């Protein structure tokens, strides 16, 4: 009986020794992972109570303007997103786990805010919840989520002063379902970052300011719910040199030639054929312009200018054909 007891005790001791050995061999990160995720539920918002508002910080770095489409009123840009928040369920003491201060994990493992881009028009893009990205978790519970992405967003473009126009595009980021009572937003800086921006041949960035809003959706303030968002206002100035040389200068030269037409004697043929060739070149210009500009009521001044010339030239041709003193008719 005694022997049996001793045997059992020694078995137990061996088991304990073996377990601790295994745990030590398995590594401190594995132990930490088990410590963090044994009771973690990624479906739940990581706050202590229902009244707690979770603060999400957002930062945007604009690296490249891929396309600015006046016709479809869209802006395609390459941006780097950064989001950060505090997850109260993911904290640990680094000393207890071999000095691990941070852990890099697949983003699908933990809770993430449902931040969307309000102006998104890309049909293949659905929010930021891509689980293929990685996330950094710090021992204080601080979560850092960074990802590069290409966004296609709608942007109201006013081309009335083309080619000397500047456009303002708005990128509004906010949670779609979580109201302001659950999730608040804050920008990491007053401005979006442009430090890695690659120069665009046509557009120059004027400013890229960030602003936080809390907007009430709903008629009544008492019933409605506030929703937080951070709005980045991207002001783009068009570099007009290309258009000045390829569009404006030929147009002005044509105008100059046109004025000379009025001084031509109304002899048979000459004035008329000159006027008609000018008319044709104007038509070509108009075609080029309509290719560049969106189909909107807001005609740019260069278009108005072209139309005035068109009317004047038409009038000129008509006068040349129906005169009292035309040589063609008197002969
Ligand atoms: C996270 O917590 C730290 C320390 O309490 C605080 O300084 C920081 O602002 C918090 N960050 C966010 C995004 O709430
Ligand atoms: C885990 O951390 C402890 C304490 O810092 C250390 O002694 C041990 O060697 C570490 N284990 C492994 C497998 O690295």
Domain of 226, CATH number, reads 2.70.170.10
Atom of ligand 1 nearest to the CA of 142: 1
Q: Are residues 227 and 166 in the same domain?
A: yes
Q: What is the DSSP letter of 107?
A: G
Q: Quick one: average pLDDT of 153-160?
A: 88
Contact present, 97 and 26 (Cβ < 8 Å): no
What single DSSP character describes residue 96?
A: G
Element (H, E) at 146: strand 142-154
Percent of the chain clearing pLDDT 90 (strictly above):
43
- Whether 204 and 154 share a structural domain: yes
CA angle 36/37/42 to nearest 5° reads 115
Q: Is the pLDDT reported for residue 220 higher than 90? A: no
The full 3-state SS of 163-182, as one line of letters, equals CCCEEEEEEEEEECCCCCCC
Contact of 141 with 94, CB cutoff 8 Å = no
Could you tell me the distance, in angstroms and rounded to a whole number, from the CA of residue 32 to the centre of ligand 2? 12
Mutate to test the pocket of ligand 2, among 31, 98, 99 (most ligand atoms within 8 A of CB): 98
Q: What is the mean pLDDT of residues 267-280?
A: 78
331 pLDDT more than 50? no
Do 27 and 168 share a domain, yes or no?
no
Higher pLDDT, 217 or 156: 156
Taking the CA of residue 57 as reference, the ligand 1 atom at the shortest distance is: 13
CA distance 45 to 183: 9
Measured by CA distance, the residue closest to atom 8 of ligand 1 is 86
CATH of residue 276's domain is 1.20.58.390
97 CA: nearest ligand 2 atom: 2
- Where is average pLDDT lowest: 11-20, 52-61, 84-93, 112-121? 11-20
Whether residue 280 has its Cβ less than 6 Å from ligand 2: no
Identify whether residues 28 and 168 lie together within a single domain. no
For 171, residues 6+ apart whose C-beta sits below 8 A from its C-beta are 60, 79, 117, 119, 151, 153, 231, 232, 234
Q: Are residues 31 and 83 in the same domain?
A: no
pLDDT reading at 273 higher than 70: yes
Q: How confident is the model at residue 170 (pLDDT cuts 50, 70, 90)?
A: very high
Q: Quick check: CB of 284 below 6 Å from ligand 2?
A: no
Write out the H or E segment, with its range, that includes residue 307. helix 301-321
Cβ of 82 closer than 6 Å to ligand 1, yes or no, is no
Confidence of residue 20 (pLDDT cuts 50, 70, 90): low
Close Cβ partners of 162 (under 8 Å, ≥ 6 residues apart): 238, 243, 292, 293, 300, 301, 302
The rounded percent of the chain whose pLDDT value lies above 70 is 86
98 lines ligand 2 (CB under 6 A): yes
Q: pTM of the predicted model, to two decimals?
A: 0.80
Mean pLDDT of 244-257: 86
Give 59 Cα–ligand 1 centroid separation in angstroms.
15
Choose the weakest-confidence range: 114-118, 138-142, 259-263.
Answer: 259-263
Q: Tell me if 63 CB under 6 Å of ligand 1.
A: no
Q: 233 and 252, same structural domain?
A: no
Does 160 share its domain with 104? yes
Asked which of 239, 266, 287 is the last residue of a domain, the reply is 239
Report pLDDT for 267: 64
- Arithmetic mean of pLDDT, 44-60: 91
pLDDT of residue 140: 95
**Structural domain of 101:** 54-239
CA-closest residue to ligand 1 atom 1: 86
Q: Please give the tally of structural domains in the chain.
A: 3
* CB-count burial class (<10 Å; 0-12, 13-18, 19+) for 136: middle
Closest protein CA for atom 12 of ligand 2:
27
Residue 138: nearest ligand to its CA?
1
* From 20, 28, 94, 101, mutation site for ligand 2 pocket: most ligand atoms within 8 A of C-beta: 28
List residues bridging with 175 in a β-sheet: 115
Nearest Cα residue to 109 out of 37, 178, 177, 48: 37
Q: Please report the pLDDT score of residue 171 as a whole number.
A: 95
Task: Quote the mean pLDDT of the chain.
Answer: 85
**Closest to 138 (Cα-Cα) out of 184, 183, 94, 108:** 94
């Amino acid at each position: 009986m005694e022997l049996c007891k001793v045997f059992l005790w020694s078995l137990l001791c061996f088991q304990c020794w073996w377990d601790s050995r295994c745990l030590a061999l398995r590594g401190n990160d594995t132990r930490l992972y088990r410590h963090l995720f044994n009771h973690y539920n990624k479906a739940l918002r990581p706050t202590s109570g229902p009244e707690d508002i979770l603060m999400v910080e957002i930062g945007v770095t604009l690296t490249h303007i891929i396309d600015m489409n006046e016709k479809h009123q869209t802006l395609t840009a390459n941006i780097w997103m950064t989001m950060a928040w505090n997850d109260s369920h993911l904290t640990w003491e680094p000393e207890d786990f071999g000095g691990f201060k941070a852990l890099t994990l697949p983003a699908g493992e933990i809770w993430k805010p449902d931040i969307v881009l309000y102006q998104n028009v890309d049909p293949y893009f659905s929010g930021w919840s891509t689980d293929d990205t990685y996330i950094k978790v710090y021992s204080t519970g601080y979560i850092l989520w960074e990802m590069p992405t290409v966004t296609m967003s709608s942007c109201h473009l006013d081309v009335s002063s083309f080619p000397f126009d500047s456009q303002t595009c708005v990128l509004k980021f906010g949670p779609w379902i979580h109201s302001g009572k659950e999730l608040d937003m804050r920008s990491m800086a007053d401005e979006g970052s442009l430090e890695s921006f690659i120069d665009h041949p046509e557009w120059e960035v004027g400013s890229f300011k960030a602003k936080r809003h809390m907007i009430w959706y709903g008629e009544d303030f008492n019933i409605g719910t506030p929703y937080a968002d951070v709005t980045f206002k991207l002001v783009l100035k068009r570099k007009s040199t290309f258009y000045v040389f390829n569009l404006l200068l030929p147009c002005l030269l044509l105008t100059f030639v046109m004025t000379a037409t009025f001084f031509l004697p109304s002899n048979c043929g000459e004035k008329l054929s000159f006027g008609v060739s000018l008319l044709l070149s104007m038509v070509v210009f108009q075609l080029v312009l309509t290719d560049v500009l969106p189909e909107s009521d807001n005609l740019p001044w260069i278009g108005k200018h072209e139309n005035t010339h068109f009317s004047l030239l038409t009038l000129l041709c008509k006068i040349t054909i129906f005169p009292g003193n035309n040589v063609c008719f008197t002969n």
